[in-house]
Amino acid sequence: MDFSQLLSLVALALVASQVAEAAPPPKVTCADGNVTANAVCCQLFSAVAILQENLFDGAQCGEEAHSALRLSFHDAIGFSIHGMQGLSGGGADGSILVFNATELKFHANIGIDDITSEQFPVFQTTNLSAGDFVHLAAAVGTANCPGAPQLDFFFGRAPPVAPAPDLTVPEPTDSVDAIIERFADAGFSVDEIVALLSSHTVAAADEIDTTIPGTPFDTTPFTFDTQFFVETLLKGSLFPGNGSQAGEVLSPIHGEMRLQSDFELSRDPRTACLWQAMINDQTRMQTQFKAAMHKLELLGQPDTLVDCSDVIPVPAPFKGQAVFPATFSRRDIQQACLLEPFPTLQTLPGPETSVPPVPGS
């Protein structure tokens, strides 16, 4: 090595060390003492406080938090990368709140009226556009669930101009082909579908079978853990099981519901290996869910939105492990990913249990 080569190496090393030590972006201190990355984000702290107090019962991961997350999906997925059939609406614009008279008639939005009617008066007490409100509520509600990632929030959506078209929200009776096709039309990969379905770890159904409202999709509907990915793979009753409603297959766990779409996606060769890989890999689930939610909240939105993610509360961590529910074990798993061994899990001690409904449904 000659002297000039040595010099350029030294120069490279210097640049690398400067990049590594690059100062974090400057913060602003708001009038109320809160600190954030951008002054326009200051007005969001009071909105976060209003949401926690008036929508989420004091920062709970309950029914309203679950429904706010579902609402963000049903709002945003009204979007196509191939254009909106001449409509100027669509995407993560809050149209589901403002044009509720139209969008809530869509079959896939059954039950969504509960959360929009609760959100509407709260929305009116904030100074936010409907799109900012719906997607801020989803990020704040999710943050109330231990184990969730701190979701991003981008600020500055214009008011919605039109309702989304019908038939953009997938239904539990849809085939895997149809689900993959609809998500692809909105710009999502197969892996991103699985990542987004992590949301069903904090979820329950009111409308699939209206005689059993609040029936959860896993045994821990108040924790953003990976149990959903374990429990959907337990061998169930015959498909479709006796007594099941359209869109539902029976779960072997008493008090638990399994959507037909989750049953099929957990076992389809295109989705089964990521589904299984999520089990007991909290970090992977958090990372992939957060990235897919980032994409979701920006569908149809301009790149001028401001990153106000630091107004979202930091969720409590999940410190436990994924488990087999009491009396279940590896032999109860219907393994669908043939490439990787099923992860080793402990069985919870005790007799077979039943999961209670989510209150407030």
The least CB distance from residue 357 to ligand NAG, in Å, is 23
Q: Which residue has the tokens 């008279």?
A: 101
Please tell me what DSSP assigns to residue 61.
-
CA distance 253 to 327: 10
- Is residue 113 a contact residue for ligand NAG (CB under 6 A)? yes
Task: Detail the DSSP E strand segments found in the chain.
Answer: 28-29, 35-36, 154-155, 204-205, 215-216, 248-250, 257-259, 306-307, 323-324, 346-347
Task: Rank residues 67 and 223 by Cβ distance to ligand HEM and give the closer one.
Answer: 67
In the complex, the smallest distance separating the C-beta of residue 131 from ligand NAG, rounded to whole angstroms, is 12
Token pair for 252: 């072997």
* Residue 66 designated active-site: no
Q: Which of 33, 58, 83, 341 binds ligand NAG (CB under 6 A)?
A: 33
- Near ligand HEM by CB under 6 A, which window of 29-37, 48-56, 69-77, 95-103? 69-77
Site for ligand NAG contains 127 (CB under 6 A) = yes
The residue type of 102 is T
Cis peptide before 240 (omega within 30 of 0): yes
Element (H, E) at 34: none
Distance CA 91, CA 164 (A): 8
Would you count residue 134 as binding ligand HEM (CB under 6 A)?
A: no
Is residue 347 a contact point for ligand NAG (CB under 6 A)? Answer: no
Interacting span for ligand HEM (CB under 6 A) from 68-76, 122-130, 155-163, 232-240: 68-76
140 token code pair: 């704040």
Tell me the two tokens of residue 291: 């990235």
Q: Does 32 bind ligand NAG (CB under 6 A)?
A: yes
Q: Which is nearer to ligand HEM, 204 or 234 (CB)?
A: 204
Q: Which is nearer to ligand NAG, 109 or 282 (CB)?
A: 109
Q: Which helix (H) or strand (E) holds 185?
A: helix 176-185
> What residues make contact with ligand NAG under the rule CB under 6 A?
32-34, 43, 45-46, 49, 100, 113, 116-117, 120, 127
> What residues make contact with ligand HEM under the rule CB under 6 A?
63, 66-67, 69-70, 73, 111, 170-172, 179, 196-197, 199-200, 202-208, 247, 259, 261
Residues forming the active site: 74
